[in-house]
Amino acid sequence: MNKIFSHIIRFVALVLLQVLVFNKVLLFEHFNPYLYLVILLMLPVHIKHWLLLVIGFVTGLTVDIFSCSLGIHASACVLACAFRPFIINLFHNEKELKQGIVPELAWFGMSSYIFYTLLFVFIHHIVFYFLSVFTFDNFFRTLFYILVNTLITTLFVIIYQMLFHSRK
């Protein structure tokens, strides 16, 4: 129960932080860190897969409503969440892990956590950028934006992890 509560607090805090602060941060005239993805990155490993998708959808939609981009974050989050179990399986065998464990920097280790975040954020950003641009014109320019923004978001996620979840 306590754990569910901490997830809810994280949800509210990070959505507010995203909408009120990070949506207004504009690095190099273009890039936005999407720190709210931490909400989805930190859902328990053994969460039901359909529930993971639903939470992804709700989180994305909430951010959408406050960004005038209805559906775009939601779609990106749902796809990223669909891939999340497979990404975690790349580093750890899901079945061997203890019940109720949460993917955080402390037990993932730095290098796996960076890769885990990079992959998740990259999938999210592919959908997000192509849906918001809504064209495959200038494919490589969009791809460049995706890659740079992935690095920026990942950097912010890692900083967040180091601040709050590096040690138990």
Partner 1 sequence: MQNIFRFLLKHNFIFTFIILQTISIWLAVSSNDYQRFEANSYVSAVEGSIYEMTSGISGYFKLNKQNRELSEENAMLRNQIPTSYRDNEAEISLSDSSALRINFPVLNFVPASVIYNSVNQRNNYFIINKGKIDGVKENMGVISLTSIVGVIINVTDHYSSVLPVIHSKAKISVKLQHANEFGIIKWDGVNYRKAILEEIPVHAQIAVNDTIVTSGRSEWYPANIPVGIVKSFTINEGSGFYTIEIEFIDDYYKTTLVYVVENKYQQEIDSLMHNIHE
Q: Give the sign of the dihedral formed by CA 139, CA 144, CA 149, CA 151.
A: positive
How many residues sit close enough to partner 1 to count as binding (CB under 8 A)? Answer: 35
CB of 76 to partner 1, least distance (A): 8
Question: Which CB atom, from 82 or from 101, has the smaller least distance to partner 1?
Answer: 82
CB of 138 to partner 1, least distance (A): 8
Binding pattern to partner 1, positions 57-76, x when CB under 8 A?
A: x--xx--xxxxxxxxx-xx-
- Binding to partner 1 (CB under 8 A) within 110-149 occurs at 131-134, 138, 141
Pick from 10, 31, 46, 104: which binds partner 1 (CB under 8 A)?
Answer: 31
CB of 23 to partner 1, least distance (A): 7
CA atoms within 13 A on the CB side of 85: 12
CB 153 within 8 Å of CB 33: yes
CB 59 within 8 Å of CB 39: yes
Question: Which CB atom, from 6 or from 132, has the smaller least distance to partner 1?
Answer: 132
Query: Among 34-42, 46-54, 87-95, 100-108, which window interacts with partner 1 (CB under 8 A)?
Result: 46-54
- Give the footprint of partner 1 on this chain (CB under 8 A): 20, 23, 26, 29-32, 49-50, 53-54, 56-57, 60-61, 64-72, 74-75, 78-79, 82, 131-134, 138, 141
